[in-house]
Amino acid sequence: MSASAVSVPMPLVPRRRRSPEDVAAAAPVNGTKRVLLAAPRGYCAGVDRAVIAVEKALEHYGAPVYVRKQIVHNVHVVSSLEAKGAIFVEENEEVPTGALVVFSAHGVSPAVQQSAVDRGLRTIDATCPLVTKVHKEAVRFANDDYDILLIGHEGHEEVEGTAGEAPQHIQIVNGPNDVDKVQVRDPQKVIWLSQTTLSVDETMETVRLLRDRFPTLQDPPSDDICYATTNRQVAIKKIAPQAELVIVVGSANSSNSVRLMEVALEYGATASHRVDFANEIDETWFEGVATVGVTSGASVPEVLVRDVLLLLADYGYDDVEEVVTAQEDILFSLPKELRATLKAAGDTSRGLGGHGKRSNN
């Protein structure tokens, strides 16, 4: 599809149009300039649900609404919600007694939930249902006295929340280099679980090495890496061999965005860079580049991608082809605490549409 066929909102960062001479000087290439735009990209169902939960809470209860940690890992989303009256805190102790706090999409441990009860806080749990599934798996296998090897990044909110479900049974395995450090009580009762936003390839390599040590290692009942993470990695794998440059829109603390940048390099892109906003793009990246791949992490609203496309068009990359590798139509219902309140108030809308939920066609 051509750039003219893409519906582009106003850019977040105003800029002047570049002259053909400026474009030629800044980005000299041999051949036709083009953009390969990954699909799926951007918001997943869990992110959509979490952001809407905060917006609906603000609409219904009024500001302030407190949010423990970043609701999702994206600086634009967080600043936009702050402008509407959300207050982001690190721990429940920062929330005034009796106030409303939303738990982020990454999930929290039972200890965090109990601390909210102890402080008399009203809570809305916006944990992604796919993360909740991993929590339930951890509880189930801990009750059966398994050693649980949780593949994920130590310190990430999702990993902290899952590990907190059964700290006596769970060991965190950061990746292949951690496998030799793992110690278990009974090699016949070991199972692995994973953070939902990891590199699929690296996770499977970690599992392979773990299974070399523990041949009877059990797999989780269903795939823990979320559909959106997998789909976005598949899309960039298809684009990367054709692109001299891949631009990933996403924040530095977004695990799945960082993984997309790494996957692009692994699968053939000459260079790959992550940006929060279009104005972070360096024009020197375009030297000798005919094909630019573009994608975005699962917590990135589509307006940020459109702004990147506008900048690329300024540099002569106005031939945009969307590379579709999957269709996504998954929606999650709002958190149960919010559903009950909104139903009583007569508000049954989900409020989609402004958050990048879109057809990939």
Q: Which residues are annotated as a binding site?
A: 44, 73, 106, 128, 156, 196, 226, 254-256, 299
3-class DSSP assignment, residue 84: helix
Largest CA distance in the chain: 69
Please spell the DSSP secondary structure of 114-132, one letter per residue.
HHHHHTT-EEEE---HHHH
8 Å CB contact between 53 and 334: yes
| Residue 100 β-bridge partners | 122
Task: Give the span between the Cα atoms of 354 and 301, in whole angstroms.
Answer: 9
Q: Which residues are annotated as a binding site for dimethylallyl diphosphate?
A: 73, 106, 156, 254-256, 299
Sequence-distant (6+) residues with CB within 8 A of 32 are 290, 319
Task: Give the span between the Cα atoms of 225 and 22, in whole angstroms.
Answer: 44
Q: Which residues are annotated as a binding site for isopentenyl diphosphate?
A: 73, 106, 156, 254-256, 299
The active-site residue, picked from 137, 158, 244, 328, is 158
Please spell the DSSP secondary structure of 23-70, one letter per residue.
HHHHS--SS--EEEEEES-S--HHHHHHHHHHHHHHHHH-S-EEEES-
Of 324, 332, 330, which Cα lies nearest the Cα of 360?
A: 324
- Burial 191-226, CB ≥16 within 10 A → b, else e: bbbbbbbbbbebbeebbebbbeebeebbebeeebbb
160 is catalytic: no
Counting every residue written for the chain, the total comes to 361
Angle at 129 between CA 262 and CA 166, to 5 degrees: 85
The one-letter amino acid code at 325 reads: T
8 Å CB contact between 301 and 36: no
Task: Give the span between the Cα atoms of 180 and 175, in whole angstroms.
Answer: 10
Q: Given the structure tokens 């409020």, which residue do they identify?
A: 351
Angle at 128 between CA 125 and CA 131, to 5 degrees: 110
**Where in the sequence numbering do the catalytic residues fall?**
158
